[in-house]
Amino acid sequence: MTTRSAPAPSTIRIGRRYRPNRLNTPYDAIVIGSGIGGMTAAACLAELGRRVVVLEQHYTAGGFTHSYARNGYEWDVGVHYIGDVGAQHTMSRRMFDFISGGELKWAAMDDHFDRIFVGDESYDLVAGPENYRAELLKNFPEEATAIDEYLRRIAIGSGMMRLLTLEKILPAPVAALVRTWRRWRSPAWVNQTTREVLESLTSNQKLIAVLTGQWGDNGLPPAQSSFIIHSLIARHYLYGGYYPVGGASRMAETIIPQIQKNGGDLFTYASVEEILMENGRAVGVRMADGHEIRAPIIISNAGVFNTFGKLLPEDMARRSGYLDKLKTVDRSMASLGMYIGLRDTAENLGLPKTNYWLYTSEDYEGSLDRFFADPDNETIPLVYISFPSAKDPAFLDKYPGRSTIEIVAPGPHEWFAQWADQPWGKRGEQYEALKEKWSQRLLERLYEHFPQLRGKIDYYELSTPLSTDYFCRYETGEIYGLDHTPERFEQRWLKPKTKIPGLYLTGQDVLTCGVAGAMMAGLATAVTAGGRDGWQLARKFFAPA
Ligand SMILES: Cc1cc2nc3c(=O)[nH]c(=O)nc-3n(C[C@H](O)[C@H](O)[C@H](O)COP(=O)(O)OP(=O)(O)OC[C@H]3O[C@@H](n4cnc5c(N)ncnc54)[C@H](O)[C@@H]3O)c2cc1C
């Protein structure tokens, strides 16, 4: 069962605690936030010889890639599976190897990595393009033409992202040429909604439901999401799902040493209060303790709503037009997150290395609307269940004889807004009772598929959108930054270099959500902020393999 026994950590704290006297000034760049985008930008700039400091307000590094431990268990919060890292030549894998010095290792999930339940029926998404296609054909033999055309279109749709990324990093005149080229090359359907594209290929609603069964990975049901984000996610997982060996916190743990090259560092408990401006230029940050840190490059990984709505002085945010631009984008969905601990191994309990997506019906949009209109009486229309300890071959080393489960479901901020001003962990009985009600409903959905777990659960807790705000500073608990609508992909201001000299953006709002999407944004930001040197990175990673 267990090979080695190490004490289970009572808490996970990756990164050094911030103190002004620990700073190693002067810095070449300051990064606000230690999400994967911020860490990637910092590691890449360090590789170019820059001294970079990453400032993270949370007690541990990683943003949504952080893990936490409690009551003898450990859970990740925003890393359930990553695609495109199985083969060493893929771009995501080369990037992860680069920023982690090759220290981050990956474990493959089951071949059928995602299982989509539509009502009482279930369908598997299977790793590898041929297997994926064959499994679809097995279930929908009369839909071969639609399936093949679908596979062709997701290749084209996801390919558009390379051009969109180039547009975001190239100087304006060249970017304009690339844009013209992209628009000329793009079929009209590329940035339609996912549902529009799929309904143009087939009228089989069950097939559409299966093909869009990963919509929770970007937070917008198919009638609202851009086909570009759908294609990117579908292609990302086409060769299967992978999990970081040792858990999500291994990301920050392995990337920080790269950031520390040239005297850089990553500090936690380091809340940035304001971006300092001088003569129209971003020149540093003011910390919550009043201390000021200066650098010629300021990179914000805090998301555009925080950056322009909170960190930038208001007159600058208004004059530069960014406050108006915020009106052109929406915040993504918020969720309930359930973290479960069991006193037996995944193997003994029969927990799979497969994600379960439980949908009540193939009408994803309608069931969601009905649920939001009447949450107490409607069945939760999407419940996602993940089994991290089953996916992680190193879990039992730290937690012998134990296992974990995580559940995610839609949970709007409004349900909890009345407690938003109250301190974390002390929101009172009514809040706890509401959480308990949702916990029980989610557990019942788990038992429907894993009845053997009834009576076996040792510990559980529920996070709400207020937790997402508290730990990662997303005000309405949005879990994917901005909504991935067709309009979002037309926003040219969502790019690394802002109109404000010295200020750059990175992370999921720049390209797309997802660990790989935010990581690529980190690279794009380093390319842009690195000046001439930055193009070495671009040539290394963006040039066709
Ligand atoms: C529940 C959930 C499940 C997910 N599952 C997956 C998955 O299976 N696979 C996948 O690829 N993606 C998944 N994602 C998405 C993925 O985790 C994110 O898209 C990605 O990690 C975002 O990275 P980022 O660089 O944008 O930064 P974030 O992770 O958003 O981090 C931003 C950081 O900035 C910090 N910050 C903000 N303001 C300040 C300030 N003023 N001072 C200092 N620090 C500040 C925050 O504390 C935070 O740490 C999931 C997300 C969630 C929430």
User: How wide is the angle at C-alpha 261 spanned by C-alphas 259 and 267, nearest 5°?
Assistant: 40
Ligand 1, residue 39: give the atom nearest the CA.
25
> Does residue 16 have its Cβ closer than 6 Å to ligand 1?
no
Read off the tokens for 174: 């060249």
Region 89-111: mean pLDDT is 97
Where residue 540 falls among pLDDT bands split at 50, 70, 90?
confident
Looking at the fold, whether 326 and 357 belong to one and the same domain comes out as no
pLDDT tens-digit series, residues 241-292: 999 999 999 999 999 999 999 999 999 999 999 999 999 999 999 999 999 9
The domain of 388 spans 331-472
Last residue of a domain, one of 454, 472, 490: 472
In sequence order, what E strands does 91-171 have? Answer: 106-108, 112-118, 121-126
Read off the tokens for 247: 């858990």
List, in sequence order, every residue forming a beta bridge with 269; answer none if it has no partner.
none
Looking at the fold, whether 359 and 316 belong to one and the same domain comes out as no
As for how many domains the chain has, the answer is: 3
> Does residue 507 have its Cβ closer than 6 Å to ligand 1?
yes
Distance 416 CA to ligand 1 centre (A): 21
Where residue 529 falls among pLDDT bands split at 50, 70, 90?
very high
Looking at the fold, whether 266 and 320 belong to one and the same domain comes out as yes
Where residue 4 falls among pLDDT bands split at 50, 70, 90?
very low
> Does residue 133 have its Cβ closer than 6 Å to ligand 1?
no
Of 119, 113, 120, give the one whose Cα is nearest residue 135. Answer: 113
Distance 434 CA to ligand 1 centre (A): 26
Is 15:252 a contact under the CB 8 Å cutoff?
yes
Looking at the fold, whether 500 and 439 belong to one and the same domain comes out as no
Read off the tokens for 165: 């990324």
Region 102-118: mean pLDDT is 98
> Does residue 472 have its Cβ closer than 6 Å to ligand 1?
yes
pLDDT at 11: 84
* Distance of alpha carbon 169 from the chain centroid: 21
Distances 305 to 66, 114, 147, 406 between C-alpha atoms, Å: 21, 32, 39, 28
Q: At what angle do helices 531-542 and 515-529 cross, to 10 degrees?
A: 140
pLDDT at 9: 64
Looking at the fold, whether 342 and 425 belong to one and the same domain comes out as yes
Read off the tokens for 321: 């037009």
Burial class (CB in 10 A: 0-12, 13-18, 19+), 97: middle
Burial class (CB in 10 A: 0-12, 13-18, 19+), 59: middle
pLDDT, averaged across the chain: 96
Whether residue 213 is contained in a domain is answered as yes
pLDDT at 272: 98
pLDDT tens-digit series, residues 332-348: 999 999 999 999 999 99
Whether residue 6 is contained in a domain is answered as no
Taking the alpha carbons at both ends of the chain, their separation in whole angstroms is 42
Ligand 1, residue 468: give the atom nearest the CA.
53
Q: How far apart are CA 99 and CA 180, in angstroms?
A: 33
pLDDT at 538: 85
Q: How far apart are CA 191 and CA 88, in angstroms?
A: 30
Distance 64 CA to ligand 1 centre (A): 3
Where residue 396 falls among pLDDT bands split at 50, 70, 90?
very high
Last residue of a domain, one of 209, 237, 265: 237
Looking at the fold, whether 266 and 378 belong to one and the same domain comes out as no
Burial class (CB in 10 A: 0-12, 13-18, 19+), 76: buried
Whether residue 109 is contained in a domain is answered as no
Of 117, 114, 132, give the one whose Cα is nearest residue 386. Answer: 114
CATH number reported for the structural domain that contains residue 537 in this entry? 3.50.50.60
Matching residue, tokens 């004889």: 401
Is 507:478 a contact under the CB 8 Å cutoff?
no
In the 8-state DSSP scheme, what is residue 504? E
Looking at the fold, whether 326 and 340 belong to one and the same domain comes out as no
Mapped onto helix, strand or coil, the DSSP state of residue 109 is: coil
Distance 409 CA to ligand 1 centre (A): 17
> Does residue 479 have its Cβ closer than 6 Å to ligand 1?
yes
Is 295:26 a contact under the CB 8 Å cutoff?
yes
Looking at the fold, whether 460 and 358 belong to one and the same domain comes out as yes
Using the predicted structure, report yes or no on whether residue 528 has a pLDDT greater than 60.
yes
For ligand 1, atom 28, name the residue with the nearest CA. 35
Q: How far apart are CA 188 and CA 203, in angstroms?
A: 20
Is 504:352 a contact under the CB 8 Å cutoff?
no
Using the predicted structure, report yes or no on whether residue 7 has a pLDDT greater than 70.
no
Last residue of a domain, one of 472, 505, 530: 472
Mapped onto helix, strand or coil, the DSSP state of residue 376 is: coil
Whether residue 349 is contained in a domain is answered as yes
Cβ within 8 Å of residue 324, ≥6 positions away: none
